[in-house]
Amino acid sequence: MSSNPAAALQRIDAGSLRDISEDNPNRVQQPVMQCVQIKPIAATTGGVERNRVILSDTRNYIQSMLAVHLNHLVEEKILRRGVLVQLLAYSANKVKAKRILIVTEIKVLEEFGEHEKLGDPKALELKVEDEEKPAPNAISSNGFYGVKQESQKQGRPMPSHTRPSSSMAHANIYPIEAISPYSNKWTIKARCTSKSDIKTWHNRNGEGKLFSVNLLDESGEIRATGFNDQCDQLYDLFQEGSVYYISSPCRVTFAKKQFSNLPNDYELHFEKDSTVEKAEEQDDVPQVRYNFTGIADLQSVEKDTTIDVIGVLKDVGETSQITSKTTSKPYDKRELTLVDDTGYSVRLTVWGKVASSFDIPPESVVAFKGVKVSDFGGRSLSLLSSGSVTANPDMPEAHKLKGWFEEQGRSGNFTTHANVQGTVSAGGGRSDPFKTISQVKEEQLGMSETPDFFAVKASTQYIKQDNFCYPSCLSEGCNKKVVEIDPGQWRCERCDKTHDRPEYRYIMSVNISDHTGQLWVSCFDETGRQMMGKSADELMEIKEVDEKALTEIFSDANCRTWNWKCKAKLDNFQEQQRVRYQVTSASALNFVTESQKLIELIKQYGTD
């Protein structure tokens, strides 16, 4: 790896940040910059951590926000302080008197190495005459974050919720991923993938009504809710499947995960002056985004997790009614049976109007978005009110299932999840096949669409000492990362509480090896405690007073052999697929058991 700062300095596109700010048509479209700082931002309830990165072009520096699908670059120390990066896709936005970049695709230029801050960059500020102008066109390799070019319509004013105002006509199109409480004067272009019925409430504080929609663009999804007057104004305007321009003001709040299955920390509340307009161009926004879980893998999914699933409809039950214990209202329900090419079947329940009007014939391929995993009578599924059903979708997964079912699935036998709480061994743990590291790689475990689980006996060769733990919330069952807002004040957004101290929890990257090869794995708190013999809190106390003693503890933890249970899962990195390995548990060797294994192996060679 090069350590020549002159070569790195020459490779950076100096002045490119100013060009982006001023929307220079001759700007470098995919500029190279230096990453000079990375700071994590705590996640909210059920959400994921975000990372703020400061980028420098040697003349100016700017704050940027990484898209969440790039988090693994920070976690695995690929994106780190001092490296050069090339911005492949990004959005330039204005927050108050500053610019901020939303980075959606980035490439780390490892060949230039790491360097101290290059040049003497100054903060990039908006020019005075630009402060009231909209942010420049967002820059993206696929052109998605463009500006809607249309003139303001003349004539008699229309209601604010449908009027295409000048701010909508010329405002920068934000990616949904970029919306936060700190965003202002934004417009998104998104498809309505789901619209709820109007719901009413009556309590001692009054009464009201609301409805919600799920909105989707290429960067992500977000839930938006309209209350009372906004419910009256907007409900008929929104149609499932249609694309809309939606412009602030909208209140951005932390997402209530008990009401939404979307992977977003935030949600929107429509306000009096919120603007919604149906887009003329309807084809440049994705239809729906799925993250399918195979039916066989449901045994390893935690109860109450929300997932997407696709399968062949094997059986459709009759509609029945149940009475809610909480509201005493009757609800229609219908039970379906799904099968897929993993050889498993599962019972899936649909409710309300979906149940009463369900008319998809058996042997159709059906995709369900937003179903909850239950362990009632074994693994089963239930469609959430915010979920959706699509019959015979035009996607590779559906075509593959259809071909499989025609060739062999129609006459196949299927294993059910009834009364199964997960595949277990006689000892009570998961019965994962034992592999050597070379077998894990040769058999390409984790390269399929669903995770693979395996066990391996291997020794620790190296434990990364930097960032081996994180500060977590003290509330029981939370474990979310907290942020120090003042000395002795640690804030948890999920619990909405402040603690006087955190509890540190392990999150380690470890290199393990056996006689056939080596593997990088990720380990979490329980495994870390076993390996280090101390809690992460104890190690942090040692780190504060004696770095040398900390290094010795890490050194002592190396070259120890454990039985590891691991999960291998396919991941995407810079348009390339690779496998990530996560330790689910580790146990010390039982030498009696290991001796018996060796004796059995010796017996296989005979005594001739």
Q: What local confidence, expressed as pLDDT, does residue 509 receive?
A: 92
What's residue 429's pLDDT? 42
pLDDT above 90 for 65 = no
* DSSP reduced 3-state for 520: strand
The answer, yes or no, to whether residue 95 has pLDDT greater than 60, is no
Q: Is the pLDDT of residue 96 over 60?
A: no
Question: Cα–Cα distance between 266 and 251 in angstroms, integer?
Answer: 10
Query: Do 402 and 459 fall within a single domain?
Result: no
Lowest pLDDT segment from 377-386, 419-428, 583-592 = 419-428
Going by pLDDT thresholds of 50, 70 and 90, the confidence category of residue 70 is confident
Stretch 123-147: mean pLDDT: 44
Query: In this structure, are 310 and 355 located in the same domain?
Result: yes
279-293, 342-356, 470-484, 493-507: least confidently modelled range = 279-293
Give the pLDDT score at 328. 62
265, 364: one domain:
no
| Residue 48 pLDDT level (bands cut at 50, 70, 90) | low
Give yes or no: residues 357 and 261 share one domain.
no
Predicted local confidence at residue 418, as pLDDT: 60
274 and 386 part of one domain: no
Confidence category of residue 470, pLDDT binned at 50, 70, 90 = very high
The residues pairing with 32 across neighbouring beta strands, listed in sequence order, are 86
Give the mean pLDDT of the chain. Answer: 80
pLDDT score for 152: 35
pLDDT the model gives residue 324: 60
Mean pLDDT in residue range 395-404 = 91
Residue 265 lies in a domain: yes
Position 259 scores a pLDDT of 63
Check residue 31 and give its pLDDT: 93
Residue 234 is predicted with a pLDDT of: 93
How many angstroms from the chain centroid is the CA of residue 85?
23
Q: Is 350 found in the same domain as 230?
A: no
Which of 244, 278, 312 lies at the terminal end of a domain, its last residue? 278
Q: Which of 221, 251, 278 is the last residue of a domain?
A: 278
Q: Are residues 188 and 100 in the same domain?
A: no
- Please answer whether residues 330 and 303 qualify as being in contact, where contact means their C-beta atoms are separated by less than 8 angstroms: no
> CATH number of the domain that 118 lies in?
2.40.50.140
Residue ending a domain, among 381, 416, 451, is 416
484 in a structural domain: no
Q: Are residues 445 and 589 in the same domain?
A: yes
Distance CA 293, CA 308 (A): 6
CA distance 15 to 10: 12
User: Mean pLDDT across the stretch 49-70?
Assistant: 86
Q: Which residue has the higher pLDDT, 101 or 211?
A: 211
Q: 398 and 314: one domain? A: yes
CA 229 from centre of chain: 33
Q: Does a structural domain hold residue 340?
A: yes
pLDDT at 475: 86
| DSSP codes joined into one string, 549-575 | HHHHHHHHHTT-EEEEEEEEEEEEETT
Q: Does the structure show a pLDDT above 70 at 92?
A: yes
Q: What is the pLDDT, as a whole number, of residue 3?
A: 63
Are both 98 and 244 inside the same structural domain? no
Q: Which domain holds residue 412?
A: 295-416
Which band of pLDDT confidence, cut at 50, 70 and 90, is reported for residue 42? low
Q: Which of 131-140, 198-207, 219-228 has the lowest mean pLDDT?
A: 131-140
Beta-sheet pairing, 98-114 with 83-95: antiparallel
Task: Identify the pLDDT of residue 536.
Answer: 92
458 assigned to some structural domain = yes
The top-scoring range by mean pLDDT among 49-53, 69-73, 274-278 is 274-278
Residue 328 lies in a domain: yes
Which pLDDT belongs to residue 35? 93
Q: What is the pLDDT of residue 269?
A: 93
Task: Report yes or no on 31 lying in a domain.
Answer: yes
Residue 480 lies in a domain: no
Compute the half-sphere exposure of residue 530: CA atoms within 13 Å on the CB side of its CA.
17
CA–CA dist 12, 31 (Å, integer): 8
Cis omega before residue 249 (within 30°)?
A: yes
Count: domains in the chain:
4
Which whole number is the average pLDDT over 365-371?
Answer: 90
What is the per-residue pLDDT for 257?
64
pLDDT reported for residue 176: 85
Residues 270 and 364 in one domain: no
For residue 389, pLDDT over 70 is answered with: yes
Q: Looking at the structure, do residues 518 and 407 belong to the same domain, yes or no?
A: no
142 inside domain: no
Q: Taking a C-beta distance cutoff of 8 angstroms, is the pair 386, 344 a contact? A: no
